[in-house]
């Protein structure tokens, strides 16, 4: 078994079939699919049961990081490929990334197209692997940058285990924390081909917990630079999810709207109007509506 695909899902029934179909359509066939159902209460369990060949692990709701720890612990492949529910992979993704892994890289990713919930392009993210490795090993928390998308990653399982894997205290920024430690163990490659499509939803973790991610990024960098591990991990475990949901959602809606307008997509104005509905004091959204861009 070359590849173990690891995915976590919590109440993700609406997008689950499309995600699984994109994984199972890969041209490279030497892989297993491990799905951790993190305590879903919607139709997720019945959808998973309808697919043959999946390794489904069911647990009480524990959050994304602990679900990924569980899934990676069960992996039997030489390589772990991440995938997020709601996202889609190009049929050639696994084959192309595995070829790069076999060149000797520890961590491989690919250019990623970010789309809004209805599938319109927001932007395409890519990066240079050597530049990302330099940033992960040297930059401070205000400048550090990582892979185009968490779900686009593929990494060697032995390196993952040697680095200590995902750390449960990191409920957010768990990917950056892991990439920092993998970057210390070998080279990184990022393919220019757009082989992964990630959906940016206003309610997603990345959209609604920006402040928590920033603080956990600072903690991950402090750990890299030799800070007190016990104290920093204890602080990480106490970083709480965001409150004040309407303002956070408004910020995410504003971001989507601005991205769409940069793509000359008039639907961006719809998102700006939704942003001021959620937060009437969101002056940037009001300004963008008034000037029309």
Q: In this model, does residue 161 exceed pLDDT 60?
A: yes
By the 8 A CB rule, do 193 and 124 touch? no
Q: What are the CA-CA distances from residue 152 to residues 85, 147, 213, 215 (Å)?
A: 12, 8, 19, 23
Q: In this model, does residue 244 exceed pLDDT 60?
A: no
Task: Write down the mean pLDDT value for the chain.
Answer: 95
What's residue 202's pLDDT? Answer: 86
- Region 8-27: mean pLDDT is 97
- In this prediction, residue 280 has a pLDDT band, given cuts at 50, 70 and 90, of very high
What's residue 206's pLDDT? Answer: 65
What is the phi/psi pair of residue 193, to 5°? -65, 140
pTM over 0.85: yes
Topology, domain 3-201: Spore Coat Polysaccharide Biosynthesis Protein SpsA; Chain A (3.90.550)
What's residue 172's pLDDT? Answer: 94
What's residue 205's pLDDT? Answer: 61
- Region 10-32: mean pLDDT is 97
Task: Please give the Cα distance from 119 to 236 (Å, whole number).
Answer: 34
- Region 61-73: mean pLDDT is 97
- In this prediction, residue 181 has a pLDDT band, given cuts at 50, 70 and 90, of very high
188-199 and 31-38 strand pairing:
unpaired
Q: Bridge-partner residues for 189, per DSSP?
A: 108
- Region 79-83: mean pLDDT is 98
What's residue 284's pLDDT? Answer: 92
- Region 212-217: mean pLDDT is 95
Q: What is the pLDDT of residues 87-137, one digit of tens each?
A: 999 999 999 999 999 999 999 999 999 999 999 999 999 999 999 999 999
88-89 and 188-199 strand pairing:
antiparallel
H helix runs in the chain, sequence order: 13-24, 44-49, 64-73, 93-101, 129-138, 157-163, 174-183, 205-208, 210-224, 229-237, 245-262, 268-278, 283-291
What's residue 122's pLDDT? Answer: 98
Q: In this model, does residue 148 exceed pLDDT 90?
A: yes
Nearest to 39 by CA among 19, 20, 56, 21: 56
H or E stretch covering 59: strand 54-59
Q: From its phi and psi, is residue 11 left (phi > 0), alpha (psi between -120 and 50) or beta?
A: left
What's residue 291's pLDDT? Answer: 87
107-115 and 88-89 strand pairing:
unpaired
By the 8 A CB rule, do 100 and 191 touch? yes
Instruction: Give percent of the chain above pLDDT 90.
Output: 91
For CA atoms 228, 230, 234, 239, give the dihedral sign.
positive
Neighbours of 60 (CB within 10 A): 7
Residue-range domain boundaries for the chain: 3-201, 245-291
């Amino acid at each position: 078994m070359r590849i173990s695909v690891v995915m976590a899902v919590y109440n993700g029934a609406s997008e689950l079939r499309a995600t699984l179909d994109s994984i199972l359509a890969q041209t490279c066939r030497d892989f297993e699919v491990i799905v951790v159902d993190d305590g879903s209460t919607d139709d997720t369990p019945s959808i998973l049961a309808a697919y043959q060949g999946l390794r489904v692990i069911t647990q009480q709701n524990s959050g994304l990081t602990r679900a990924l720890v569980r899934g990676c612990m069960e992996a039997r492949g030489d390589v772990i490929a991440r995938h997020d529910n709601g996202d889609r992979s190009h049929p050639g993704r696994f084959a192309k990334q595995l070829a790069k892994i076999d060149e000797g890289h520890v961590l491989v990713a690919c250019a990623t197209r970010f789309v809004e919930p209805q599938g319109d392009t927001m932007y395409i993210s890519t990066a240079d692997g050597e530049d990302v490795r330099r940033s992960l090993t040297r930059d401070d928390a205000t400048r550090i940058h990582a892979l185009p998308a968490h779900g686009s990653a593929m990494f060697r399982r032995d390196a993952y285990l040697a680095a200590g894997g995902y750390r449960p205290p990191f409920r957010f920024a768990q990917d950056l924390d892991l990439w920092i430690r993998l970057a210390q163990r070998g080279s990184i490659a990022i393919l220019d081909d757009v082989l992964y499509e990630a959906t940016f939803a206003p309610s997603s973790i990345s959209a609604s917990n920006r402040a928590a991610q920033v603080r956990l990024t600072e903690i991950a960098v402090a750990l890299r630079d030799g800070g007190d591990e016990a104290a920093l991990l204890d602080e990480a475990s106490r970083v709480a999810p965001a409150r004040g949901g309407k303002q956070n959602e408004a910020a995410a809606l504003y971001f989507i709207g601005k991205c769409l307008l940069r793509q000359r997509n008039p639907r961006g104005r719809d998102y700006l109007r939704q942003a001021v509905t959620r937060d009437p004091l969101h002056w940037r959204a009001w300004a963008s509506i008034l000037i029309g861009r």
